[in-house]
Amino acid sequence: MKPNIILAIESSCDDTSAAIVSNGKVMANCVANQEIHHLYGGVVPEVASRAHQANIIPVVDLALKRAGVKKEDISAVAFTRGPGLLGSLLVGTSFAKAFALSYQLPLIEVNHMEAHVLAHFAEDPKPTFPFLCLTVSGGHTQIVLVRDFLDMEIIGRTLDDAAGEAFDKSGKLLGFGYPAGPLIDRYAQLGQARFVFPEPAIPGLDFSFSGLKTSILYFLRREVDSNPQFIEQNLADICASIQQIIITVLMKKVRKAARQTGIRQIAIAGGVSANSGLRKALAEMGQKEGWSTYIPDFQYCTDNAGMIGVNAYYKFLAGQFCTQDVAPYAR
Ligand code: KG4
Ligand code: ZN
């Protein structure tokens, strides 16, 4: 039988990505990173859209070549519909629609955050249902109760900043470029978490990170006032302390969600799930609490079209296609 081959496109933020997914298995997952945003301390939407426009055709060609697939062999085209930056989403959405139209293929729209969760089905070991997924990225922080491939409920979310934003904004205060998360992670591994920041008191399963950013700002101001070299002299310990408080806040809520729901299959997903401290904390808490834990391979943590293709495969099986007139959504 002819395999089900999906061409998947992801362009929600600053990574242009294309993947080929055959019968649910990722055959190629190519990403063009936009280094240019380092210069600005954050993603500049206009710059991101222009870079997507320049990158999308080469990235798609590369994915086809790596997978050894011809355009004529494709069964469906999938794209990230949202959430994300509108100008960025429009590039991937328009490309996918034009491709589908010219090859007369069905179209599949995918929610970026649901795709982060389903990235767990790109490789073994795969979680079984139901499971909880802590989805932590630059724009979102959610605890998701996953009942089935296409049946998810958000049971906790951030009320303000996302966990990735907490890393990025704290890193900016330390003079790091964007994204600061990976740099904080690297320095944290060399330091001791000896500075204490207050934990936000948010009831239930929700999160808040904006107060943390403010307390880090005031702490740094106070210390730099009395010692202008404070940041340089204590960089590793400051990073370890910032990372520690963010992980503590995340893991306490995950434990609460697991105890409340009785679910013991726990996964993490999204860009921040690449963090070495969070990966270790999940494994350790999992052992203590008797959980089975699921940590994605690095290529499936940050934004990638592989996860879009995997999600689209399950939508294909369920017959969930979309029409040419669907519009992207920012939130
Ligand atoms: O999922 P993602 O690639 O894009 C969004 O959908 O937002 O996540 C990007 C976020 C950024 O905030 C980045 O700083 C963070 O993930 N990140 C990390 C690490 N790698 C990426 N944060 C902490 N430690 C890391 N190793
Ligand atoms: Zn993402």
**Helix, coil or strand: residue 217:** helix
Q: Which residue has the higher pLDDT, 86 or 331?
A: 86
Q: Ligand 1 test: best mutation among 29, 88, 167, most atoms within 8 Å of CB?
A: 167
Q: Give all domains of the chain, ordered by start, each with its CATH number.
A: 5-118+301-318 (3.30.420.40), 125-295 (3.30.420.40)
For the chain, the helix, strand and coil percentages under 3-state DSSP, each to the nearest 5: 50, 20, 30
CA of 10 to the centre of ligand 2 (A): 9
Cβ-contact 139, 209 below 8 angstroms: no
Q: What is the pTM of this model?
A: 0.95
CA of 3 to the centre of ligand 1 (A): 33
Q: Ligand 1 test: best mutation among 89, 136, 137, 276, most atoms within 8 Å of CB?
A: 137
227-280 tens-digit pLDDT: 999 999 999 999 999 999 999 999 999 999 999 999 999 999 999 999 999 999
CA of 218 to the centre of ligand 1 (A): 24
CA of 100 to the centre of ligand 1 (A): 31
159-173 tens-digit pLDDT: 999 999 999 999 999
Reported as a pLDDT band with limits 50, 70 and 90, residue 40 is confident
CA of 75 to the centre of ligand 2 (A): 25
Ligand 1 pocket check for 34: Cβ under 6 Å? no
Ligand at minimal distance from the CA of 246 is: 1
Ligand 1 pocket check for 271: Cβ under 6 Å? yes
Count of beta carbons in the 10 Å neighbourhood of residue 277? 18
The pLDDT of residue 33 is: 85
Ligand 1 pocket check for 16: Cβ under 6 Å? no
Q: Tell me what the mean pLDDT of segment 101-106 comes to.
A: 97
The pair of structure tokens assigned to 128 is 């079984």
Q: Tell me what the mean pLDDT of segment 138-143 comes to.
A: 96
Ligand 1 pocket check for 272: Cβ under 6 Å? yes
Give the ligand 1 atom nearest the CA of 303: 3
Q: Which parts of 68-203 fold into alpha helices (H)?
A: 86-103, 112-118, 163-173, 181-188
**Helix, coil or strand: residue 319:** coil
181-215 tens-digit pLDDT: 999 999 999 999 999 999 999 999 999 999 999 99
Reported as a pLDDT band with limits 50, 70 and 90, residue 43 is confident
Reported as a pLDDT band with limits 50, 70 and 90, residue 41 is confident
Burial degree of 45 (CB within 10 A; 0-12, 13-18, 19+) = middle
The answer to whether the bond into 130 is cis (omega within 30° of 0) is yes
Ligand at minimal distance from the CA of 179 is: 1
CA atoms within 13 A on the CB side of 313: 22
